[in-house]
Amino acid sequence: MIVNGVERPRPGSARRLLSDYLRHDLGLTGTHVGCEHGVCGCCTVLMDGRPVRSCLMLGVQAEGHQVTTIEGLAPSNEALHPVQQAFKECHGLQCGFCTPGFVLAIAGLLAENPSPSEQEIEEGIAGNLCRCTGYASIRRAVFRAVELSGGSRPE
């Protein structure tokens, strides 16, 4: 599989979760594990551009796919991805544990639909839990990300 643009060997064991493979075999620890049962969204990564929950997949299931983790999202060491930038400007994170999952879910959403409606934004983040922020700043960050990536902001 290709992870953040780099070809990676298949997981050593068939039962290895994709989340464990990324975190512990590849050292990409920005992918977080909050529940390991598919509800919190902390482990969200992009597979072929689409958000998936890496705790619900085996590593071997990602074979032949392109995986993007939070480490691979920003274009460079200097610049952030618009969603990351928006989170920073809007205080969209506190402890930061849920953050990579939210950022990737939103990045996936905006890649598919650069000018989402308010309803589409609400749905886009409705599968991720955050226990710190109370979500208001995350919603603001999505609006800001739409702006930063050149989409038109919902009225």
Partner 1 sequence: MTTRWFGERVLRSEDERLLRGRGRYTDDLGEGALEGCFVRSPYAHARVVFVDVEAARRAPGVRAVYTAADLPFGEMDLPLLIPHPALTQGRTQRCLASRIVRYAGEAVAFVVAEDRYLAEDAADLVEVEYEPLPVVANLEAAAGAERLVHPDVPGNVAAELTQDAGDVEAALEASPRRRRLRLRYERGAAQPMEGRAVWARWDAGERRLTVYDSTQSPTSIRGGLAVLFDLPETSVEVIAPDVGGAFGPKIMLFYPDELLVPHAAMQLGRPVKWTEDRREHFTAVNHERAQLHEVEVGYDDEGRIQGLDVDFVHDAGAYTPYGLILPIITAAQLPGPYRVPAYRVRFRDLYTNLTPTSPYRGAGRPQACFVIERVMDSIAAELGLERAEVRRRNFIQPDQFPYDTGLSWQDGSRAVYDSGDYPRLLEECLRLLGPRPAGDNVGMGLGVYVEGTGVGPYEGAHVQVLVSGKVVASTAVPSQGQGHATVFAQVVADALGVDVADVEVHGGDTRRLQWGVGTFASRSAVMAGNAMHVAAGLVAEKAKRIASEQLEVDSADLELAGGEVRVRGTPDRAIPLSTLAVLSNPLRYAFGGGAEMATQFTPKPRQGPPLERGEQPGLEATGYYSPPGSAWASGAHAAYVHVDPDTYRLEILRYVAVHDCGRVINPLILEGQVQGGVAQGIGGAFYERLAYDEEGQLRNASFMEFLMPYSTEVPELVIGHLETPSPLNPLGVKGAGEAGVIPVGAVVASAVEDALGIPVTEMPLSPLRLFDLDRLRAGRPR
Summarize as ranges the residues that interact with partner 1 (CB under 8 A).
13, 15-16, 20, 23-24, 27-37, 39-40, 42, 69-71, 74, 80, 84, 87-89, 91, 93-100, 103, 122, 125-139
Instruction: Indicate the residue among 64 and 91 with the shorter CB distance to partner 1.
Output: 91
Identity of the amino acid at 3: V
Instruction: Indicate the residue among 14 and 35 with the shorter CB distance to ligand FES.
Output: 35
CB under 5 to 8 A by kind: which of partner 1, ligand FES, none does 89 bind?
partner 1
Site string for ligand FES, 112-151 (x = CB under 6 A): ------------------xxxx------------------
Beta-carbon count within 10 A of 49 CB = 11
User: How far, in whole angstroms, is CA 139 from its chain's centroid?
Assistant: 15
Q: Minimum distance from CB of 128 to partner 1 (Å)?
A: 7
Tell me the C-alpha distance between 38 and 89, whole Å.
29
Q: Which stretch binds ligand FES (CB under 6 A): 78-86, 90-98, 104-112, 144-152?
A: 90-98
Structure tokens at 49: 């551009």
Residue with tokens 């969209």: 92
Regarding 86 and contact with ligand FES (CB under 6 A), the answer is no
Instruction: Indicate the residue among 36 and 66 with the shorter CB distance to partner 1.
Output: 36
H/E segment holding residue 109? helix 99-112
Tell me the C-alpha distance between 142 and 1, whole Å.
30
In 3D space, the residue among 118, 2, 35 whose CA is nearest the CA of residue 17 turns out to be: 35
Q: Minimum distance from CB of 34 to partner 1 (Å)?
A: 4
The answer to whether the beta carbons of residues 69 and 3 sit under 8 Å apart is yes
